[in-house]
Amino acid sequence: MTAAEALSVMNVRAQTLYANVSRGKIRAKPDKADPRRSLYHRDDVLKMAERRSGQRKVEKVAAQTIDWGDPVLLSAISTVSNGKLWYRGRDAIELANTASFEEVAGLLWETDAVLIRPSNTRKAASADDPLTASLVALARRSARDLPSSGRTPLVLRDEAASVLSTLAQAILGGTASPRAGGTLSERLAVSWGCSEAQDAIRRALVLLADHELNASTFATRVTVSTGASLSAGVLAGLATLTGPLHGGASSSVRALSELATDIGPEAAVRNWLAQGRAFPAFGHPLYADGDPRASALLSTVSVPPLYAELAACVERAVGERPNVDFALAVLGAAFDLPAQAPLSLFALARCAGWLAHALEQAQTGRLIRPRARYVGLQPKPSE
């Protein structure tokens, strides 16, 4: 179907059609007769039209909204549309070609490039790994920082830069001098002893800076909606990011690569599937044609043969392409970065987005408080 035909059948606006395409609910392909247009899968369009024609209960709509469903709140920060990621209307892939992470953080916060200063926050213990140090540093700030409610955007943006600096210092650890200069990507490359990885690190930070209302960002917004401090919101986001279905997905890639080293990529993929395990670093519900962030990052890195073969084997087996979690694991392997580098990069990058959403949420002055649809034992009135 052409776009006009699909819109007529579904009786929706063009934005709704494109949103369903970006979420993978309607398949699309270029029109060979006119490459500027797209054609839409007839069965998918009819299925969505049938879904819209039914009178769904409010409870069912709300439940489906939470699970990769319709938007649940207003935001002007970022969106996924037509298979691309946009930061305040600008293509994130194009930004990754030239922009620094500090400039992108400024774009998300609607200010100038953010200055990420070395923090004086003391370390929890000299032997702490970056994740532990980050959680402890943010928890300490959360205990003393002022609430986010009732404060001007200018003051909150200054505090946001301080919170981001705290996280950066916790991850950089004792290798960062208080007088260290340069961009965050340069400081990370020096800290990890791999100056040649600086540009790839910069690209990764830009590409991961925000991704609309993902799980960790939602956790941040819920926290800040109570009036809690910006650092408390970032702490909630970081805790959520550690899950294996979110920022921790790249660790699964490392485990799969270790298995592939022992028994070969093809056997490793078969073994993985035989155990009923999913591939969390492959495929993405918002990108029907593949995660463009992964493509943008992998195209600038010399992918180790083992990882290239693994990606090919997984795609043949389950039909899914690598996403940005896989690309982060490849980045770590290609430059022999520390084991926690992928999660550290993800956390530092996404902190810019968490704080952008925290700033936006704080200005609404509204509490995010959904209702639960109760499915337990029915209450019995007392006699």
Query: Dihedral, CA atoms, 241, 85, 340, 144, nearest 10 degrees?
Result: -50
CB contact at 8 A, 236 and 223: yes
Active-site annotation holder among 44, 210, 291, 325: 325
Active-site annotation holder among 44, 210, 246, 357: 246
Active-site annotation holder among 284, 289, 336, 357: 284
Q: How far apart, in whole angstroms, are the C-alpha atoms of residue 24 and residue 44?
A: 10
CB contact at 8 A, 281 and 307: no
Q: How far apart, in whole angstroms, are the C-alpha atoms of residue 244 and residue 65?
A: 22
Q: Which residues pair with 81 in a beta bridge?
A: 84
Active site residue 284: yes
Active site residue 43: no
Active site residue 34: no
HEC letters along 264-324: CHHHHHHHHHHCCCCCCCECCCCCCCCCHHHHHHHCCCCCCHHHHHHHHHHHHHHCCCECH
Residue of 233, 296, 309 lying closest to 93 (CA atoms):
296
Catalytic annotation, residues: 246, 284, 325
